[in-house]
Amino acid sequence: MNDYFTDREFGPVPRASEVIGERLWGGLHSLIDVRLDDGSFGFRFPLACEDPGKPACGADRAAFGRSLEAEVPGAS
């Protein structure tokens, strides 16, 4: 088990929870935004390039958001 500074200072906290708090949702949102911006989701949610005949040029945020909302209602 890791020896965390906050555990030493404030006592150990449970590492498992059934509730996802606002702070964790914020972290997940940030991680997903970074990956949307760098095109990591472009394979499953391709954003069509505006230039005719060009391949996908990123990730479609709207399509990703609809898919996420279907899987996790209230997430977006």
Whole-number pLDDT of residue 72: 85
Number of H helices, E strands in the chain: 3, 0
User: Using the 8-state DSSP alphabet, how is residue 47 labeled?
Assistant: P
Strand partners, 59: 46
Q: Is the pLDDT of residue 1 over 70?
A: no
Q: Give the closest residue to 63 by CA, choosing from 49, 50, 45.
A: 45
Q: How confident is the model at residue 73 (pLDDT cuts 50, 70, 90)?
A: confident
Strand partners, 46: 59
Calpha distance 7→71 (Å, rounded): 34
List pLDDT tens digits, range 11-49. Answer: 887 778 778 889 988 999 999 999 999 989 999 999 988
Whole-number pLDDT of residue 50: 85
Domain positions in the chain: 21-71
- pTM for the structure as a whole: 0.67
Q: How confident is the model at residue 54 (pLDDT cuts 50, 70, 90)?
A: confident
